[in-house]
């Protein structure tokens, strides 16, 4: 019974996997002022954020994630002027996110790189090659996704089979437990196949 519970738990997990001190301290010695004002690095980081079109990238990502939700809501009955309302709401949320996130992203750059490195990064992204990379990034992402998307369902299925087989070998499954694992594995493989078919139809 204990082994059966362990195997059942493993199957369930795999299913979820797929789908100071109180004493006064002496006053520290004064630190020498930096050669450049502290906001110099932040200003360079903000220029990098602008040069890399981080706002546009964020907008494209959120728009892509929201496309399915928009289509689903628009297909519902009695939604009134949902088609007009959703784009406006999305724009408002994107503006809010941009104002909240981009300054923090610039601070991350400023904290990660020194001033010389920031200048080098900015020089690249404002160069012809850097500007072309930014310009072509959406196309590169689309083509990369087109190359990898057909491979993912097969990789998921192969990985799932290997994981289930490994777990059953380690747990020394009985025939009954093997059947339980096979049933769960089949359900997950069917789900992967259905998702792949749905994605293929959507891509057409």
Same domain, 84 and 156: no
One domain, residues 114 and 176: no
Residues 103 and 156 in one domain: no
Q: Tell whether 47 and 82 lie within a shared domain.
A: yes
Q: 53-62, 68-77, 102-111, 172-181: lowest mean pLDDT where? A: 68-77
Token pair recorded at residue 204? 């057409």
Q: Is the pLDDT of residue 44 over 60?
A: yes
The model's pLDDT over 107-147, given as tens digits with 9 standing for 90+, comes to 999 999 999 999 999 999 999 999 999 999 889 988 998 88
* pLDDT exceeds 60 at position 5: no
pLDDT, tens only, 151-191: 888 888 888 888 888 888 888 888 888 888 888 888 888 88
> Are residues 57 and 135 in contact, defined by beta-carbon separation less than 8 angstroms?
no
Specify the number of domains making up the chain.
2
Whether 160 maps to a domain, the answer reads yes
Mean pLDDT, residues 77-83 taken together: 61
In a domain, 53, yes or no: yes
Region 48-67: what's the mean pLDDT? 81
Mean pLDDT of 63-67: 66
Q: Is residue 116 part of a domain?
A: yes
Tokens representing 168 are: 């059953």
The torsion angles phi and psi of 26, rounded to 5 degrees, stand at -65, 150
Mean pLDDT over residues 10-16, rounded? 44
Q: Is residue 134 part of a domain?
A: no
Residue 53: closest CA among 153, 138, 148, 115: 138
96: domain range? 39-126
- Could you tell me the pTM of the whole model? 0.56
Q: What value does the mean pLDDT of the chain take?
A: 76
Same domain for 192 and 154: yes
Most confident stretch, 11-15, 63-67, 167-171: 167-171
* Residue 61 pLDDT: 75
pLDDT: is 107 or 10 the higher one? 107
Do residues 60 and 105 share a domain?
A: yes
Give a yes or no: residue 69 inside a domain.
yes
Residue 30 lies in a domain: no
- Nearest alpha carbon to residue 103 among 46, 54, 37: 46
Three-state SS at 115: helix
pLDDT for 109? 95
One DSSP character per residue, 40-105 reads HHHHHHHHHHHHTTHHHHHHHHHHHHHHHHHHHHHTSSS-TTHHHHHHHHHHHHHHHHHHHHHHHH
């Amino acid at each position: 019974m204990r082994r059966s519970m362990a195997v059942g738990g493993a199957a369930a997990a795999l299913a979820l996997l797929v789908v100071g001190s109180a004493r006064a301290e002496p006053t520290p010695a004064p630190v020498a002022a930096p050669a450049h004002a502290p906001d110099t690095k932040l200003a360079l980081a903000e220029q990098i954020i602008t040069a890399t079109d981080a706002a546009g990238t964020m907008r494209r990502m959120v728009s892509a994630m929201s496309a399915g939700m928009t289509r689903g809501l628009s297909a519902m009955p009695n939604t009134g002027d949902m088609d007009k309302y959703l784009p406006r709401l999305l724009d408002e949320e994107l503006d809010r996110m941009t104002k909240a996130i981009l300054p923090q992203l610039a601070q991350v750059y400023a904290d990660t790189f020194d001033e010389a490195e920031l200048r080098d990064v900015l020089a690249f992204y404002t160069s012809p090659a850097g500007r072309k990379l930014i310009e072509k990034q959406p196309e590169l992402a689309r083509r990369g996704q087109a190359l990898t998307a057909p491979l993912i369902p097969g990789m998921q299925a192969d990985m799932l089979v290997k994981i289930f087989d490994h777990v059953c070998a380690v747990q020394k499954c009985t025939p009954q437990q093997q059947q339980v694992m096979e049933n769960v594995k089949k359900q997950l493989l069917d789900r992967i196949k259905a998702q792949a078919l749905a994605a293929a139809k959507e891509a057409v």
